[in-house]
Structure 1
Amino acid sequence: MKIGIISDSHGSSKALERVFGLFGDADCIIHAGDILYHPPRLYGYEGYDVIKCVELINGLRVPFVSVRGNCDSEVYTELMPGYAERETTVLGVHPCKIVVNHGTRLNTAAMVSLAKDCGADIFVSGHTHIPVLEKRDGVTLINPGSIGIPRYPSSGPVPTASLIDGGHISVFDIWTGRVFLEDEL
């Protein structure tokens, strides 16, 4: 089982292209929301291209599972049918059961509770743009950080993503591969 996990791309085609290349042999890719829309201050920045993002996502050869983030808009559904339809989704990727929610309105306790209510081992979120990898009450919490508008680490933000490969989970810099967080399932 190999699962690529990203969040908060905010229309960064350059970052999406990079992670999709890194996750080329994944069994699926999970996006925890804030897929296409980016704040007005980012218009004109190199690598921000909503149409190219849509083309990249639609061209994937592996399942792409996404949830709606607080910046996702229904106006994009004409470009991508099924775009961010749900706030929460639950999926089984043997041997795990995973809950995905952007996390806008959920604190850690609520994430753990929702995962347990769904019988899940893993809860994937985004929203904060800061990576998290921790275990709470039998649930592994994963926030891959942001590939589009990073806020981690404070010494100089770098875009981060997460990978579940077998029983190993890592959060890493998408450009250098430097691992910031890692654990076993």
Structure 2
Amino acid sequence: MKWLIMSDSHGWKEELSPVVQRHEQEVDYIIHCGDSELYEDHPALEKMMVVKGNCDFGEDFNEEIVKELKGVSLFVTHGHLNQVKMTMTNLTYRAEEVGAQITCFGHTHIATSFQENGVIYINPGSIRLPVRPKRTQTYVICEIEDNRVKVEFYTRQGEILPELTNEYTLA
């Protein structure tokens, strides 16, 4: 199973299409971790599971998604309500509370992945306004096979960033 994960596109519409088109035939799910600044029915978000970020106004999106996808428990949130810019503690408590194996979040605009207390955390960075590394616009392809989880970061142009790639084992 493969997931395309992105976040913090901040109003971009046409710029999302090449990323989706590049991977839509190989992925099973597309996840947007908030701050799209678009409405739920916008064509750019048509094939995505999307959560509400702090820059998303209106009632279009849920604050969280908690879902089981082919036997893997997923938790998606933007992260602002968990204060992820200050601490990961609130997010880790919430992930454990909902029984997540994989947690996807955004808000910080920093591309990262890590595993803590058996939960895999993925922040795809920002597809539009990155902070680090090197201000590179990023997204993620997460491949789950058996208990192995490979998290690969890509530039918006589709080039892999091997220095950010990690592999984990599902707990």
The aligned counterpart of 2:52 is 68
- Residue-by-residue CA offset, 1:81-126 (whole Å, 9 max, x unaligned): xx32x11110111231111110013231211111111111111110
Tell me if structure 1 keeps the 8 A contact 2:152–2:160: no
Partner AA of 2:43 in structure 1: E
Please list every run of 5 or more consecutive structure 1 residues that lacks an aligned counterpart in the other structure: 38-49, 78-82
**TM-score, L = length of structure 2:** 0.83
Q: Secondary structure at the match of 1:13?
A: coil
The question of 1:54 aligning with 2:42 is answered yes
Shift of 1:176: 4.3
Shift of 1:146: 0.5
Q: How many residues align?
A: 157
Shift of 1:18: 2.2
The structure 2 residue matched to 1:162, chosen from 136, 140, 150, is: 140
- Residue-by-residue CA offset, 1:10-64 (whole Å, 9 max, x unaligned): 1112431122112212111111100126xxxxxxxxxxxx8xx922223x3xxx2
Partner AA of 2:97 in structure 1: D
Tell me if structure 2 keeps the 8 A contact 1:23–1:29: no
Please list every run of 5 or more consecutive structure 2 residues that lacks an aligned counterpart in the other structure: none
The structure 1 residue matched to 2:79, chosen from 100, 103, 107, is: 103
The aligned counterpart of 1:177 is 159
**TM-score, L = length of structure 1:** 0.77
More helix by share: 1
The aligned counterpart of 1:131 is 111
Partner AA of 1:174 in structure 2: R
